[in-house]
Copies of this chain bind each other. A is one copy, B any other.
Amino acid sequence: MGAAVSTTDFERIFHPRNLAIVGVSKEGLGFGAGICNSLRAIGYGGEIYLVNPKGGTWNGQTLYPRVEDIPGRFDLAIIAVAAPAVPAALEACRMKGAAGASIVSSGFKELGTAEGIALEQEILAIARRGIRVIGPNCFGIYCPRSGLTMLPGPDLSRQSGPIGFSSQSGGMAVDFANLGKSMGLQFSKMVSFGNGADLRETELLQYFGEDPETRVVGMYIEGVRDGEAFFQALRATAARKPVIVNKGGLSDAGARAVQSHTASMGGSGRIWPAILRQANAVQVRSMAEMADACQAFTLLPGRVYRNLTVLGGGGALGVAAADAAETCGLSIPPFDDALAGRIDALLPKPGSSPGNPVDVANPFVAPRTLKEIMRLAASDPRIDLQIFNSLIHHYKNMARITGRPVREVTPYLELADDIQAVVAETGKPIVVILFNPKSGMDHLDVVEMFADARRAFVQRGIPVFNTLSEGLRAIGHLNAYYERKRS
A-side interface residues toward B, CB under 8 Å?
A: 34, 37, 41, 83, 105-107, 110-111, 137, 152, 154-155, 167-172, 175-176, 178-179, 181-184, 220, 222, 248-258, 260-262, 285-286, 288, 313-323, 325-327, 331-332, 334, 349-351, 353, 355, 357, 359, 361, 391, 393-394, 396-397, 400-401, 435, 437-444, 447-448, 451-452, 454-455, 467, 469
Contact = CB atoms under 8 A, between A and B. Distances in A.
A444 B443 contact: no
A313 B252 CA distance: 21
Contact of A178 (B168, B350, B437, B447): B437
A444 B448 CA distance: 7
A285 B319 CA distance: 12
Given A350-B107, A353-B260, A319 B286 contact: no
B154 A400 contact: yes
Q: Secondary structure at chain A's binding surface: helix, strand, loop or mixed?
A: helix
Given A256-B334, A437-B175, A155 B111 contact: no
A410 to B, nearest CB: 15
Contacts of A439: 182, 451
A317 B173 CA distance: 12
Given A34-B397, A261-B316, 5 more contacts: A107-B350, A155-B442, A171-B317, A222-B316, A248-B323
A262 B315 contact: yes
Given A222-B316, A288-B467, A257 B437 contact: no
A152 B397 contact: yes
Contacts of A451: 439-441, 444, 447
Contact of A316 (B169, B313, B442, B454): B169
**Residue from the set A181, A257, A313, A321 with the largest chain B CB neighbour count within 10 Å:** A257
Contacts of A455: 440-441
A359 B290 CA distance: 23
25 contacts: A106-B351, A111-B350, A154-B400, A155-B396, A155-B397, A169-B315, A172-B316, A175-B314, A176-B437, A178-B438, A181-B438, A181-B440, A182-B440, A248-B323, A249-B319, A251-B323, A252-B326, A254-B323, A257-B321, A257-B322, A258-B319, A260-B359, A261-B319, A261-B359, A285-B323
A85 to B, nearest CB: 13
A393 B319 contact: no
B437 A253 contact: no
B322 A254 contact: yes
A69 B381 CA distance: 56
Contacts of A110: 315
Nearest to A260: B353
**Residue from the set A181, A317, A318 with the largest chain B CB neighbour count within 10 Å:** A318
A220 B316 contact: yes
B323 A250 contact: yes
B251 A326 contact: yes
Given A41-B400, A286-B320, A350 B313 contact: no
A257 B260 CA distance: 50
Contacts of A260: 315, 353, 355, 359
A137 B361 CA distance: 11
Contact of A452 (B179, B258, B391, B441): B441
Closest 10 CB pairs of A and B: A171-B314, A261-B315, A169-B316, A251-B326, A253-B322, A179-B437, A254-B323, A178-B437, A182-B440, A254-B322
Contacts of A182: 437-440, 443
Contacts of A318: 257, 261
**Residue from the set A182, A184, A220, A447 with the largest chain B CB neighbour count within 10 Å:** A182
Contacts of A400: 41, 154-155
A350 B137 CA distance: 10
